[in-house]
Structures are given as C-alpha cells and as structure tokens.
A and B are shown apart, each in its own frame.
Chain A
Amino acid sequence: MRGVTPTTAIGPRGSKPKRILSTRNIVVYGVLTVAAVYWVIPLYVMIVTSLKGLPEIRMGNIFAPPLQITFEPWVKAWDSACTGLSCEGLKVGFWNSVKILIPSTFISIAIASVNGYALSFWKFKGSEVFFTLLLLGAFIPYQVIIYPLVILLRELGLFASLGGIVLIHTVFGMPILTLLFRNYFASVPMELFKAARVDGAGFWRIFLQILLPMSLPIFVVALILQITGIWNDFFFGVIYAGTLNFPMTVQLNNIVNTTQGVKEYNVNMAATLLTGLLPLVVYFISGKLFVRGIAAGAVKG
C-alpha cells in the first residue's frame, strides 16, 4: 500500500513489446495453413478437372491448372450426360430436387416451429414424453424404418411420388427442427408470453404476432439446415421419390457410377460440382448462421 519510489524510472514502461514471429505464432499459423491447404485441395481439383479436356486429364497431373479452359464438360453434365438409359444430363435431377426441396422445407419448418412453440409454452400432459420419443427417433438407424414406411406410403397412395418424398423429409426433419425451435423458444422470457395472454392473445396470435417476428434468425437457421439437408439427401430420394422424381444426388450417382465405356472424368467432376453448388453457395452466404445451425441442440450444457 505504499507508493512506488521514483527511483524505478529506469525499468520497463508502457506497453509490452510483442514479437510477431514468435515460435508459437509460427506453429499455430503453420499448422493451420497446412491443414487448410489439405481441406481446399479436393475443391480445387474438382474445379480444374471439370475445366480440362479428356486428353489433358490423361496426361496425369490432377493439380495442374487447365492449359486450355473448356466449358464443354459443364454443358454435357447439365444437358446430355447419360444416367443409365436416358441421356438428358443433370438438369432433370436438378429440377426434381427443386420440386422436392421447396415444399419439404416449408412444410417441415412450419410444423416443427409450431411443435417447438407448443412444447415450450403450452405443455400438456405427456408432451414431454412424446418429445423424448421424437428425439430418440433421431438416433434410430433409418434402415430399421424404411420398409414399413414404404408400406405406409403405398397405403396412402404416396409411394414413389413427390408428395411421398415431401412427407418423408418432413417426418425425418422433425426431431432436430423441433429441438431447434424448442430450445430457441425456451430462451424467450416466459413473462412475455404471460403478458400476451393477459392482453388476451391466444395460441395462434401469440405465435404469429409476438414470437414469429422476433424469431427470424432461428427460422433462417432452420432454413439453412433443411436446404442443405434435403438437397444433399440420397437415401430417401432413391427409395421414396420414384424414378420420375429422382433428386440430383441420385442422378449424379447414376451418371458417374453406372456409365459404360470411357470414363469422362471432366464431365463427372462438373456434374459433382453442379450438385454441390447450391449447398456451397448457401454455406458461403450464411456463414455464422450455418455454424449456429449445426451447433444448435448439439452443445447444450
């Protein structure tokens, strides 16, 4: 508690000097950069391969940038690559995926958000039990339930149809989305809900007029989750959508893995890129929200 004597004037003073090239920094940035290069290479290879001609590919350096850039493979992948019997390219699959994506995304989010809302604010006897069952359902290997679902959909007349695959995506998206919304709504102060009830608002009015406008971020997170999830789905598409509605991933597999004769690696990579394009764009645009989406419900407590 004694004051410092003025003789200390010679010692260190002011802000502590920082070394930019410390060993620690070199290790940290070095390792991260090497790892980042490893992670980027496949994307880079996909792009350069898709822009090369076949002869150039056969010369054998997959890392080399194209000597002569050609968009031929892209055109062929989109328009005329053969999937088994027909040769109409990926475009059919693309539009099928769009047709599946839009209704599935909206219906699943609409249902799950109302579910999450009911579970947070309007608990009734047994609601928690059903929710736990639903969550456990997220861990059941799909293989166990795919066949009975085929029968159910056939009974409903929805097997191998657009309606069928939309229903399937809604059902399988429900556990994680409901969890997402429930956790979000649980963080909304209960008093807000009480205030709205005293003001005379009921179930739907509180949801639509109070909660919906303040929950836009979580809806965007759900949207990202569903868009990438449904677009990337292969398994449900191949089983429930029916040949006419095969999504893009299924068409891609057919193009790459079932073609006879010469393997057109450049067309394959163009097709692969085309299929991955939408989720990649969503990913790069959404940034932090995507991260929030995948971490949602995962890291709690």
Chain B
Amino acid sequence: MSSVDIVDLHLSFGATKVLENLHLNVAEGEFLVLLGPSGCGKSTLLNCIAGLLDINDGQIFIGEHNVTWAEPKDRGIGMVFQSYALYPQMNVEKNLSFGLRVAGFSKAIIRQKVAEVAHILQIEDLLKRKPAALSGGQRQRVAIGRALVRDVGVFLFDEPLSNLDAKLRTDLRIELKRLHRKLGNTMIYVTHDQMEALTLADRIAVMKNGVIQQLDTPNGIYHRPKNRFVADFVGSPSMNLIQGTLFKQDEEWLFRMHSEATQDEQWVGISLTHYPFTAAPAVGQKVELGIRPEHVILTEKASNSVSSYLFLVDLVEPMGPDVVCWGSVAGEPFKVRVSADFVFKPDTTLMASFDLTRASIFDIETGGRI
C-alpha cells in the first residue's frame, strides 16, 4: 500500500505542452478518478505515473520512493487497460503469471499467487483458456487479475470498462468497488464516463487541456463545481447556465438575466440572499447562473417567489425513474428533471423556481466560481 505524489510535472511532445506544472497527491488506499473529455491528458498522466512515458520535468513518488526515473516494473504498480491487452497466445494462467515469471519467482509461489487471485476474481474455471475464448467481461477480469497478482501498492486503470456493454459495465463497476474495499489498495482510475467517476471515486480530479480543474469528492464536484467547465462537463443532462448581470439593491445581491429587458419593468431579478458566495461579487459583474435540472421546482401557477421564471416546455423525455423536460426560459434553452409521476403536456407554460442554496454562479470572463 502506498501513496502517490506528483510534484510539478511537465510533459511536452515536441512543441506541444501536454501537462504543465501538475501537482497531485493520492493518499494511501484512496480511489482517485481522473475524469475529463478525450485529449485532456488524463491517460497521458496515468502513463507518466506508470513510467510508460518519460516526463520532461518534475518528480513522481510512489510510497517513499522517488520513481521518476524508474522502469515501469520497478515502480510497484499494476495496470489494467481498456483493450484488456491480454497476451493472445498465452492462456489465462500464463497471462496472470507472466510478470511473476519475468521477475523470477519460484514455480510454487507463482502457482499459489495465481490460485489466490483466481479465487478472488472467480476465474478459476478459465485458467486453461486462451483470451480469444473469453467474453469481454471475463477478459477484463483476467486483466484485473494480472495487475492483482503482482502484489503491488498501486493499481492504475486506463478506461477499463469502456469496451464493455452497458450492463456489464455496471456489474463490473460494483465489483471493482467491492474489490477496492476488500484490498484497500491505492487506485488511480482514468475514465471519460462521469457515472463511473461519481460512483467509484473517493475523490475525482476533473481535467481539461492538461490541467486539473478541480480535485474534490464526487459530492463536491457535482454540487460545488469550481468553474464553468466542471459544471458543464459533469452531470447529465448538463447544468442549465443562464447569462446575466449582478447588481445590488438595498444591500441585497440580485441576478438579472440578459434577455430580461423585454420583461415587466417592475421585475428586478432573482434575489441571491441565500446563495453562498465563495468570492466577493461586484456590481455589474457579468456572470452565469448555473442550476442543475433536478434542482428546479416546477409549479403550474405563478408563485410569489421572486426566484422564478416562465418555462416553456416543448419536449418531454421519459427516462424511467424520472422525466426530463426540454424547453426554454426567456428564449434560452432550459431543461428540468422531475419525477416520473409529474404529469403534463408538451407546449405548456410552467413556473420554474430555483433552490439557490444549490445553485452555482460563475464569472463569465474567468469561468471561476464566485
């Protein structure tokens, strides 16, 4: 069991800077997920930790050891790949034991370790089969086994479930979580699937353009996104973002939509009294108000609440347990998630009110949360 520390990492391919000035601490036994769109550098970072890519500057520590210049095999890591990467001509047993054989372990020890891992993953029956004769789920289990058998402190997962179909993916996800609880190893897991990230992680690092945008618990990432990118990237359907301006009236901060000018003259905007600011707001500041679809309350009639808008529904998408209504607020696209028993027709107008304690406000220029 070991922690992973990445200090001031720099990596560039030719003139392109891929990772810059990157710091990351992964605690012992933690399950950390690197989440981001393709090309954000998350797999690259994982390959750097594994030693499969040489870094240009910075340091990598695994446990107490500085492994910056160490070979992959000497870093105390095991790795699981998206395409499973099983050696096609070796049977499962040989696949599991290849690393141990390279390291020169005795036959008895190898046999014992393989049996142990096969038991944990319940693949004892498959030991004599070739990878080609296995299903996708079985292959990935073997690939996990290959990492397990090496008895290392840190497991690296590179989108391990992306090649599986939806149902298997959910099953294996739960199995992985159980495995982590049982073994308690440090795990670093790369994915572009936010569901996987939210369900598996102790902490998530959301990445974009080689920079970690936010490192937080799944809850923190989802409810208090640090910037507009994280807010937009995590959550499905994504967060509603309404452009507007901040101003102050009678010591009360208010938000006014840009397209509100046409509305009632009396209309002053939404009160932000209950919004927990994290940075000092400024009068006239251009901002975006973010509200998750499930944090909007729909009512048939106009309420007295100041924080409500007219919501024009044009499409209803039943998702099973709940329903997503697509429509617009003051001409801007808007969606709301309500429970499945909420009955209404398309092309109706409803009142949408927000719970501002759960909203987010971002500065338009910097994209940062305020």
Direct contact, A vs B (beta carbon within 8 Å):
yes
Which residues on A are within 8 Å of B, measured CB to CB? 189, 191-192, 194-201, 205, 209-210, 213-214
Distance in angstroms from B11 CB to nearest chain A CB is: 16
Asked whether A197 and B52 contact (CB < 8 A) given A189-B85, A210-B87, the answer is: yes
- Determine which of A195, A205, A209 lies in contact with B79 in the assembled complex, contact meaning CB atoms within 8 Å: A195
Are B79 and A198 touching (Cβ within 8 A)? yes
> Which single residue of chain B is at the shortest CB-CB distance from A195?
B85
With both chains docked as a complex, state the minimum distance between the C-beta of B43 and any C-beta of chain A, in angstroms. Answer: 10
| C-alpha spacing A45/B121, complex, angstroms | 68
* Contact (Cβ within 8 A) B85 A197: no
Q: Footprint of A on B, CB under 8 Å?
A: 47, 50-52, 71-73, 77-79, 81-89, 98-99, 102-103, 143, 146, 150, 158
Instruction: List the B side residues contacting A209 at CB < 8 Å.
Output: 98
Show 18 residue pairs from A and B whose CB-CB distance is below 8 angstroms, ordered by the A residue.
A191-B84, A191-B158, A194-B47, A194-B50, A194-B72, A195-B87, A196-B87, A196-B98, A198-B72, A198-B73, A199-B98, A200-B71, A200-B99, A201-B102, A210-B87, A214-B87, A214-B88, A214-B89
Cβ distance A192 to chain B, nearest Cβ, rounded Å: 5
Q: Is the CB of B81 within 8 A of A199?
A: no
Q: Across the two chains, which residue of chain B brings its CB closest to A197?
A: B72
Bound CA span A197–B167, Å: 32
Find chain B residues with CB under 8 A from A201 CB. Answer: 98, 102
| Contact for A200 among B81, B83, B84, B103, CB less than 8 A | B103
Does A199 contact B73, Cβ atoms closer than 8 Å?
yes
Report the nearest A residue to B150, measured CB to CB: A199
Chain A residues whose C-beta falls within 8 Å of the C-beta of B88 in the assembled complex: 214
Measured CA separation A213–B131 after assembly (Å): 14
Q: Which residue of A lies closest to B94 (CB)?
A: A209
A197-B73, A198-B73, A199-B99 as given contacts; A191 in contact with B83, CB under 8 Å: yes
Point out the residues of chain A lying under 8 angstroms from B158, CB to CB. Answer: 191
Residues of A within 8 A of B98 (CB): 196, 199, 201, 209
Given contacts A197-B73, A199-B102, A191 and B82 within 8 Å (CB-CB)? yes
Contact A194 B79 (CB under 8 A): yes
Say yes or no: B89 contacts A195, CB within 8 Å: no
The tally of CB-CB contacts under 8 A between chains A and B is: 62
Query: A192 CA to B88 CA in the complex, in Å?
Result: 9
- Cα of A210 to Cα of B71 in the assembled complex, Å: 19
Query: How far, in angstroms, from A194 to B50 measured CA to CA in the complex?
Result: 9
Which residue, A195, A200, A209, has most C-beta atoms of chain B within 10 A?
A195
Question: In the bound complex, do residue A200 and residue B50 qualify as a contact, i.e. CB atoms below 8 Å apart?
Answer: no
| Known contacts A210-B87, A213-B89, A214-B88: A195-B81 contact under CB 8 Å | yes
Whether A195 and B146, one on each chain, are in contact in the complex, defined by CB atoms closer than 8 angstroms, is yes
A198 near B87: Cβ-Cβ < 8 Å:
no
Q: Given A189-B83, A191-B81, decide whether A198 and B50 contact each other with a Cβ distance below 8 A.
A: yes
Q: Which of B82, B84, B89, B99 contacts A198 (CB 8 A)?
A: B99
**Nearest CB on B from A197, distance (A):** 5
Task: Chain A residues near B86: list those with CB within 8 A.
Answer: 192, 195
Chain A residue nearest in CB terms to B79:
A198
Residues of A within 8 A of B89 (CB): 213-214
Q: Beyond the given A191-B82, A194-B85, A195-B85, please list 4 additional residue pairs across the A-B interface where CB-CB is below 8 A.
A: A189-B85, A199-B99, A200-B71, A205-B102
Q: In the complex, which residue of chain A has the Cβ closest to the Cβ of B102?
A: A200
Of chain B, the residue at the smallest CB distance from A213 is B89
CB-defined contacts of B103 to chain A, threshold 8 Å? 200
Task: Give the docked Cα–Cα distance between A209 and B102 (Å).
Answer: 11
Ranked nearest first, the 6 interchain pairs of A and B with the lowest CB-CB distance are A200-B73, A199-B99, A191-B85, A195-B85, A191-B81, A213-B89
B25 CB → nearest A CB, Å: 23
Alpha-carbon distance between A197 and B77 when the two chains are bound, in angstroms: 11
Question: In whole angstroms, what is the CA distance A200 to B81 when docked?
Answer: 16
Tell me the minimal C-beta distance from A124 to chain B in angstroms: 12
Q: What residues of B have a CB within 8 angstroms of the CB of A205 in the complex?
A: 102
- A13 vs B184: C-alpha distance when bound (angstroms): 66
Separation of A195 and B99 alpha carbons in the complex (Å): 9
A198 contacts across to B, CB distance below 8 A? 50, 52, 72-73, 77-79, 99
List the B side residues contacting A194 at CB < 8 Å.
47, 50, 52, 72, 79, 81, 85
CA distance A209 to B89 in the complex (A): 9
Taken together as a complex, chains A and B put the C-alpha atoms of A196 and B103 apart, in Å, by: 12
